[in-house]
Structure formats: structure tokens, C-alpha cells
Amino acid sequence: MTTTVTSLELRQPPERVASPPASDTELSFREIRDIALDAYRTLYRSVGDPHHWTSRILPDDRLDREIHDEATRIFVLLADDIVAGWFELEMRRSLKSARIVHLGIMPAFRGRGLADHLVSKAIVTGFSEGAERLTIETNTLDHPAALPLYRKHGFTPYATRMVQTPAIESVEALAKAHHTPAPTSMVAGDTPR
């Protein structure tokens, strides 16, 4: 499949942080250090499968290296202690740069206005680590609201390119070989909620 990838950047923190949507639901963010591989796969596949995300459909050893690298940080948005969304940051401190690698709202929580809050938190977190430049990419297979949402938050495009990406169906055998049931906990020792 051919997709157009848009690379965007933000060079300064926003003046305004998006407030959470009005709701009776208690929202909070939590960094998940040493996330279990099956928990990561559940987050990744839940958000990414409809958009043909395949970059993290990897054998255990390779996925472990990617997501447990010291530069990688993973955060979840909790709605009454249930994961409603997540984002993954890659911090490049020596370059004073950060990249939002993945970001998404879990299917059951879409349409509630949470994406604006999630993007805002990812931006604030990226800049809080000393970044002077924050980047993100989206493509024409992603949710159609992604590019307008990023632009709303001040990201500006700096490059586009055409990319051949495998359809999720073409990597399904690999995905099934590494798929595990939904976790009851994000990290070892957590109390299931």
C-alpha cells in the first residue's frame, strides 16, 4: 500500500495546555516504566491495526530493545483507572529533540474529546525533558482527524514523502505468532484494576 507521510515539528511549548473534556470520569496520566511486552502489544494493536501500523509487530527480543530503550518513554491516559489512550516518546537529549512515536485513543474511548488532551500532554511531556524541537509523523492511513489535530496544536509540516507500507493483513501471521491475551497489568507487580 502506498501512503503519504507528513512530518511535522513544533519548536516551542504551547502557551495553552488543552484542558480535559468535561466529564464525570476521572482522568489521569501515568508513565509505564518497563511495560510488559504483551501490554504494549495490546495498546499498539488496539490503536494501530485499523491504520496498518506494523513497525512494532516484532519478535520479543527486538520489541524489548525498542520499547525498553532508555530514550523511550510510554504514558497511558487513564479514565477511572481504565486505559483510554497512550503515547510513546523518544527523547533525544543530546540533540535537544523529542519525537512522538505513537499516539492514540483506545477504540472504546473515541468520540469523547480525549485526543486533544492526549496530544497536549504529549507535547508538554516532550518539552519538559529539555527538548527544543518536538516532531511527529502521520500518514494518509491514520485517522483523518490526526493531521488537523496536530496542526491545531501548533505543529507545522516540514516534509512529505510517499512510502510503501504493508497491509496489516500481510503481517497477520507474524502478529499472531507474537500476540498474547490482554494483560491484567501493565507492569509486573501492578495491582490489576
Strands 27-31 and 72-79: antiparallel
* Tens digit of each residue's pLDDT, the chain (193 residues): 999 999 999 999 888 778 888 888 899 999 999 999 999 999 999 999 999 899 998 889 999 999 999 999 999 999 999 999 999 999 998 889 999 999 999 999 999 999 999 999 999 999 998 899 999 999 999 999 999 999 999 999 999 999 998 888 878 766 566 554 444 445 443 433 3
Extents of the domains making up the chain: 2-12+27-178
Where helices occur in 80-178 by DSSP H, the ranges are 114-128, 146-152, 172-178
Distance from C-alpha of 179 to C-alpha of 2, rounded to nearest angstrom: 26
Distance from C-alpha of 143 to C-alpha of 147, rounded to nearest angstrom: 8
114-139 tens-digit pLDDT: 999 999 999 999 999 889 999 999 99
Q: Given this model, what pLDDT does residue 156 score?
A: 97
Q: Given this model, what pLDDT does residue 160 score?
A: 97
Q: Given this model, what pLDDT does residue 185 score?
A: 47
> What is the number of other CB atoms lying within 10 angstroms of the CB of residue 31?
11
Q: Given this model, what pLDDT does residue 179 score?
A: 53
Class of domain 2-12+27-178: alpha beta
Q: Which residues contact 53 (CB under 8 A, 6 or more apart)?
A: 44, 47, 102, 168
Q: Which residues contact 169 (CB under 8 A, 6 or more apart)?
A: none
Q: Given this model, what pLDDT does residue 73 score?
A: 96
Q: Given this model, what pLDDT does residue 18 score?
A: 82
Q: Given this model, what pLDDT does residue 168 score?
A: 84
Whether the Cβ atoms of residue 45 and residue 179 lie closer than 8 Å to each other: yes
Question: Residue 3's closest CA among 168, 192, 123?
Answer: 168
How remote is the C-alpha of 64 from its chain's centroid? 16
